[in-house]
A and B are shown apart, each in its own frame.
Chain A
């Protein structure tokens, strides 16, 4: 196996608010290998976006990375001087966001903005930059790229703007593209096309992709590996097929049971996860999911589980795990 291009080790990012310290990311570790597609899923406030922002050192005040390491090709981004981080941002690690309209400058031509992204990192003539911008727009399947390069963002539809953002992200041939809810603001038919584009680009360019989303279906379509986050922690991780077929953490299992599926006949009732995600200023003792978990045992109330092997290449932070929980339920019923 090749060396990981990114290693996140025990990352802690906290927000120092008037109400107290919000432990938004609380000890997250994972590796990303070259060309890999990694999904990070979870609900609002679980820490998935803050994890992504931490990787690029873009966490805003009152937030701060308070611990851990983020090794990009072996060098720690957390302790790197600001100028060096700026070199990496947009060049080695690019990021695209949910709302492409607010990420683009409305008074500059789309092509110019892509050229700018290149010129920030390499000395190239404007002629070369322009032809490269056209080529990038073609690569993200924008028709009539030669004339579209002269358009302003408002002349693009939502889907095309996100394509333009992806083109900008790929401008410097980064090794990692972080996409934070890239399709959430888009209609479903456009979403499907953007996901297909990301999948194709991953194959063509071998750029590793970190996809951050709340939508399990989106992960299923694009990613090879997935991290499930809850309350600032990774609660389960592993290959996508494995996690979807045989989830071991009750949170992952419940999430998959709670979403209506297009290919399922109408069920009587969806499984619902009662209660709300916890307050991260004062997270619950023991397992953070225990107040909402229907499979909890006594140990879960006071003993905080860490990630443990639960299957081939699969880890979950749970004292019970679904295998045992479902077997137990089966016995109780028999």
Chain B
């Protein structure tokens, strides 16, 4: 009797779902939509709303008075413009460095390496991602210090360690995000048929010409896809610059200092809108190159 009953309920349920494709769809996408809508977009919404409030500087309490003071302060103060431009510059530089390093590696992995070596190289590229971010950043801190590895090796070439500063920040961030650049480019190059390269050679093109006219245009969307990772991750980063950046600060540090130390949440929220706006513009541009179609 119970079996028939449960069978009956299941049967009825499946019948309802069969008749109502909209309900099916709704049930399927509601968990991820809830995550996207409430958790992600809702959090962003709360952030923007907080940016319009103020803070009592003595007690640190957030005061819900609507005002644009935070944005005005950011706009008028030269230091925040400078920090924003510096952050943008670091993110762009890290992206460029990673493209230059990742491209030959990805090209070798996709086109030259044997299948066994290819698998091994993919694992080798992914392995650093298993190590903790902090471990890697502190490793670079030790390497870049006065008596660290870079100073020792550089001593042979007559150079010295760049020490802690913007150069160190770019080096460390490039190292951290390199796998995120290698893999999309590798995937893009894999999709490039080997026959195209052969055809290009048959038509008389030399290697550089083939690279420039055949490989690069095809792989450009993949490069842009990889750059989204390195650019956005560098834009918001605040830990690396604290560890190896010496006395410098990036946008993330201003947000961190205001959320953590100063507890000026409204101002931190206002500063946090800058990277969000930059990334929206960047993503809109990236979409036009077709990079997001193949990701």
Chain B binds chain A: no
A residues contacting B by CB (< 8 A) are none
